[in-house]
A and B are shown apart, each in its own frame.
Chain A
Amino acid sequence: MVIAGLDIGSVFSRAVVMEENAVVSMTLRPTGGNFRKAVAGLWRDIRTMRIDPLDIDVMGACGLGATFIDRPFMKIAELSCLSRGVHFILPDIRSIIEVGNQYSRVVRINADGKVTDSMASEKCAAGSGRILQVIANVLGIGLEEFGPLSEQAGRPAKFTTNCAVFLETEAISRVAEGIPVPDIIGGLHHTLTAKIAGMVKRLKISGDCAMTGGGAMDSGLTRTIESEVGLRLHVPEDFMLASAIGAALIAAERDKAAVAEDAMASLQ
């Protein structure tokens, strides 16, 4: 059986195709503000890997733009997808920190990869990975440069606000004051970490923890979380695809259950 999982996020769109519980093909592309185009792009990517989208038996999807998918699919809750996907990649992990563009979330999972507890910073962009992108734009550098640059931070800059809008203003002021870029990034990591630490403490998480979402690209952020919150963070190789993998696996399980139910019904 060929199964597929799509995760159409606000910044990145991803697709994985799986067979026999193994990923056979995966693709990641920027959403670029147009969900429909992003989905079409994913199909093109899949075809170039010599897979015909028509051969996909079951498809699961999650993410802000999932409703724009133009083929039959099962809509699956994001949180379930993330948990199931991380569980597939790192079976021993029981907690996850995801720093995404829309919000940051902290999740506890059980031995089956099911959610037991979770928290998210979903009311506003404070504490989300968005602020990394906002400041990256102010500094005119890419997010992937944050990690290496923050290693040179001497005295991290002080920020007085969590609000993404006001943080942007403060970052501009700090630049104008002549504070070095590494210190500004270092200060930002502290601000974001403080917000995440609050959620980690409330869920009583310690020890090993997975880190996913675009924020996991920033090694400076993971380092700051590790040292300030006292966690051992594991960033899976395919951390950007975890939710897509989870979507595929959950869709396949639900399909199997539905088929079994149908069989039972026809027997009666």
Chain B
Amino acid sequence: MFCAGIDIGSTITKIVIANRNEVLASVVQRTGAQHRRRAHRVMEDALTQAGLATSDLDYIVATGYGRINVPFADAQITEITCHMRGVSWLDPDVRTIIDIGGQDCKGIKVKDGRLDDFIMNDKCAAGTGRFFEIIAKVLGIDLEEIGPLSLTSKNPAEISNLCTVFAEQEALSRLSEGVPIADVAAGIHRANASRIYGMVRKIKIEETVAITGGGAKNSGLCHSLQERLQLPVFIPPEPLITGALGAALIAGEKAARVGGPGLAALKKHRRWDAATFFSDSATQAAMQPTNSQHSHMG
């Protein structure tokens, strides 16, 4: 039984194709402005990777903030449920998940494999991936460099502002005072770690803590968070795809529940539309009439 989970985040789109509990393919791409086009694109790439055709997929679950823009999905499930499911499958001992996305940050509590509580910040850019994108630009380095660079600091700079706009200014004035880039980066990571910790603490942090999302790829942020948490931390080998993985697992369960005849009916009604246009220009042309449907995705 082949199932897919597709997670359209604000910044990155992820997809996982699984055969029951075995991951066959996973693809990660930048979302960009056109959600539908990206959904088709990652699906095409993942199918190629898995050596499957669209008709082989029994059930597809879409999640993430762009989940309603996946016309071929059989169900839409919130990313909180999917993250929990994906992380619990990777490590059943996880009780607290800290998911640091491109434009939001979530704390998720897991109890007996079920969702216990969650907290979320999508109102303020502090503590989200966006913050690091902006600061990396100020420091004149790539986003991937900011974490490792911060770990070389012996004397982290004091960054008192949590507002991204003000912290950007503060980072600039520290640099003009001659503070080394690594120290500014370390200060930035500390400030964000304490902001994230302060939020997640409200749902009572329990062992084991998992860090997922793009933030988990930032070694400096993980280090600062661990300093605050003083608890063992589990970072999945592929922290970006836990939501898509969870979605694929849930898709597997749903497919088993629906059963053969139901699945055949689902497949028949699945809307692949533009998915068959696999060349870039053709996809673009095919997407033109549906452009207006993106407008409500702010």
Question: What is the interface of chain A, defined by CB distance below 8 A to chain B?
Answer: 10, 33, 102, 123-126, 130, 134, 160-166, 169-170, 173, 176-177
| Chain B residues, Cβ within 8 Å of A162 | 123
- Judge whether B166 is part of the interface by a CB distance below 8 angstroms: yes
A123-B162, A163-B123 known; 10 new pairs, CB 8 Å cut-off, are: A10-B169, A124-B161, A124-B163, A125-B163, A163-B124, A165-B130, A165-B134, A166-B103, A166-B124, A169-B103
What per-residue 1/0 map shows which CB atoms of B264-297 lie under 8 Å from chain A?
A: 0000000000000000000000000000000100
Q: Can you name 28 A-B residue pairings with CB atoms under 8 Å? A: A10-B169, A123-B162, A124-B161, A124-B165, A124-B166, A125-B163, A125-B164, A125-B165, A126-B124, A160-B298, A161-B123, A162-B123, A163-B123, A163-B124, A163-B125, A163-B164, A164-B125, A164-B163, A164-B164, A165-B131, A165-B134, A165-B165, A166-B103, A166-B124, A166-B130, A170-B298, A173-B298, A177-B295
| B125 lies within 8 A of A176 (CB) | no
| A130 lies within 8 A of B123 (CB) | no
- Judge whether B52 is part of the interface by a CB distance below 8 angstroms: no
Query: In whole angstroms, what is the CA distance A20 to B253 when docked?
Result: 84
- Judge whether B33 is part of the interface by a CB distance below 8 angstroms: yes
Query: In whole angstroms, what is the CA distance A102 to B165 when docked?
Result: 9
| Chain A residues, Cβ within 8 Å of B131 | 165
What per-residue 1/0 map shows which CB atoms of B103-144 lie under 8 Å from chain A?
A: 100000000000000000001111000110010000000000
| A124 lies within 8 A of B162 (CB) | yes
| Chain A residues, Cβ within 8 Å of B130 | 165-166
In this complex, how many residues of chain B approach chain A with their Cβ under 8 Å: the count is 19
Query: In whole angstroms, what is the CA distance A10 to B173 when docked?
Result: 11
A-B complex: 8 closest residue pairs judged by Cβ atoms: A124-B163, A165-B125, A125-B165, A164-B165, A163-B124, A165-B164, A177-B295, A125-B163
| Chain A residues, Cβ within 8 Å of B134 | 165
| Chain A residues, Cβ within 8 Å of B125 | 163-166
Query: In whole angstroms, what is the CA distance A140 to B169 when docked?
Result: 22
Query: In whole angstroms, what is the CA distance A177 to B84 when docked?
Result: 34
| Chain B residues, Cβ within 8 Å of A124 | 124, 126, 161-163, 165-166
Question: Which of B103, B161, B165 has the most A CB atoms < 10 Å from its CB?
Answer: B165
Chain B residue, CB-CB nearest to A131:
B165
Tell me the minimal C-beta distance from A206 to chain B in angstroms.
30
| Chain A residues, Cβ within 8 Å of B123 | 161-163, 166
- Name the interface residues of B164-215: CB closer than 8 Å to any CB of A: 164-166, 169, 172
Query: In whole angstroms, what is the CA distance A164 to B33 when docked?
Result: 20
| B298 lies within 8 A of A176 (CB) | no
| A130 lies within 8 A of B165 (CB) | yes
| Chain B residues, Cβ within 8 Å of A177 | 295
| Chain A residues, Cβ within 8 Å of B103 | 166, 169
| B163 lies within 8 A of A123 (CB) | yes
| Chain A residues, Cβ within 8 Å of B166 | 102, 124-125
Tell me the minimal C-beta distance from A123 to chain B in angstroms.
7
Tell me the minimal C-beta distance from A257 to chain B in angstroms.
34
Query: In whole angstroms, what is the CA distance A33 to B168 when docked?
Result: 13
Chain A residue, CB-CB nearest to B10:
A169
Question: Which of B103, B131, B169 has the most A CB atoms < 10 Å from its CB?
Answer: B169
Tell me the minimal C-beta distance from A266 to chain B in angstroms.
42
Chain A residue, CB-CB nearest to B169:
A10
Chain B residue, CB-CB nearest to A161:
B123
| Chain B residues, Cβ within 8 Å of A123 | 162-163
Chain B residue, CB-CB nearest to A125:
B165
Chain B residue, CB-CB nearest to A65:
B173
Chain B residue, CB-CB nearest to A33:
B172
Tell me the minimal C-beta distance from A153 to chain B in angstroms.
19
Query: In whole angstroms, what is the CA distance A169 to B104 when docked?
Result: 13
Query: In whole angstroms, what is the CA distance A130 to B169 when docked?
Result: 12
| Chain B residues, Cβ within 8 Å of A170 | 298
Tell me the minimal C-beta distance from B285 to chain A in angstroms.
19
Query: In whole angstroms, what is the CA distance A169 to B165 when docked?
Result: 14
| Chain B residues, Cβ within 8 Å of A134 | 165
What per-residue 1/0 map shows which CB atoms of B217-258 lie under 8 Å from chain A?
A: 000000000000000000000000000000000000000000
| Chain A residues, Cβ within 8 Å of B126 | 124
Tell me the minimal C-beta distance from A239 to chain B in angstroms.
23
Tell me the minimal C-beta distance from A30 to chain B in angstroms.
15
Tell me the minimal C-beta distance from B8 to chain A in angstroms.
15
Query: In whole angstroms, what is the CA distance A160 to B164 when docked?
Result: 18
Question: Which of B103, B131, B162, B166 has the most A CB atoms < 10 Å from its CB?
Answer: B166
| Chain A residues, Cβ within 8 Å of B298 | 160, 170, 173
Question: Which of A126, A165, A177 has the most B CB atoms < 10 Å from its CB?
Answer: A165
| Chain B residues, Cβ within 8 Å of A173 | 298
Chain B residue, CB-CB nearest to A123:
B163
